[in-house]
Amino acid sequence: MSLSLQQPASQPRQQAIPASYGFHPIPTSVIHTVAHEFGHVLGMYHEHQRDDRDHYVRYQCEKLEGYDQAKKDVEAKGQHTIEEVCASVSLGYEYNFPSAPQFSTQRYFDDLGGIYVTKGGEYDWHSIMHYTSDAFHNDRLSRDPPNVPLFRWVNGDPDFQPPPVDHTPTADEAKLIGWNEQETTDDLYSHIQTLYPW
C-alpha cells in the first residue's frame, strides 16, 4: 500500500505536482504516469520511499541519470559525500541531482508542520505509486537488475535481509519492476477511502 501525506483540515495547503515525461513515451506509460500523479494529488507518496523498502527492493543511486556529474560536484565542493546526497532530499536538489530525491526515504515533509507520513499495509511493488526499475535510469547502462536504479528482491518480505550493497544480484535473486506489473488494486481504493472517509 502506498505511503500518504496527511494534514489536519485546519491547515489546508496547495498541492504542487511536477509531472515528468522522462519515463517511456508509449501510451501505457502515459496512463500510468497520469494515474501516478493523481495519486499524489489524492495524498499518496511513493511506495519505494517507505522506510522499510530495503527488505523488498534495492535502490542504486549510482545507476541514476546525473549521478556522475553530481559526484564530481560533490567532490569539488568537499562538504558532503555522494552517499549523503543520494539519501537526502535537500542535498539532491542542492547539487542539481533531482532524480535522487525521488528515491529518498528521508521524511522531509515532517518539517512543514502538521503533515505526517503514514504507511499502511504490506509493501506493494505492484502499486501505481511505485517507480519502475528504469525510472531516471542512466541510459548508458543496460537494463538488468545490476544496472538499474531500482529492482525488487524475489524473496523480499518484512524479514528478508538484503545482501550487502557490493553483492551483484543474480537473476534468481532480483527482478525488474515494469509498467505491466503496476495495477490499481482494491487496496488502493481502500487507502483512498482511509484518506477521504466520505
What residues contact 77, with CB distance under 8 A and at least 6 apart? Answer: 95
Cα angle: 156, vertex 161, 163; to 5 degrees: 100
191 is annotated as contributing to ligand binding: no
C-alpha cell at 25: 513515451
32 is annotated as contributing to ligand binding: no
Among this protein's residues, is 84 annotated catalytic? no
Cα–Cα distance for residue pair 44/5, rounded to 1 Å: 6
Which one of the listed residues 37, 62, 94, 181 is annotated catalytic? Answer: 37
Instruction: Name the burial class of residue 119, with classes exposed (0-12), middle (13-18) and buried (19+) by CB atoms within 10 angstroms of its CB.
Output: middle
137 is annotated as contributing to ligand binding: no
Report the run of H or E that residue 59 belongs to, with start and end.
strand 57-59
Sign of the alpha-carbon torsion through 71, 72, 77, 78: positive
Strand-pairing partners, residue 117, are 5
**Residue list, annotated binding site:** 36, 40, 46
Sequence ranges of the binding site for Zn(2+): 36, 40, 46
- The catalytic residue positions are 37
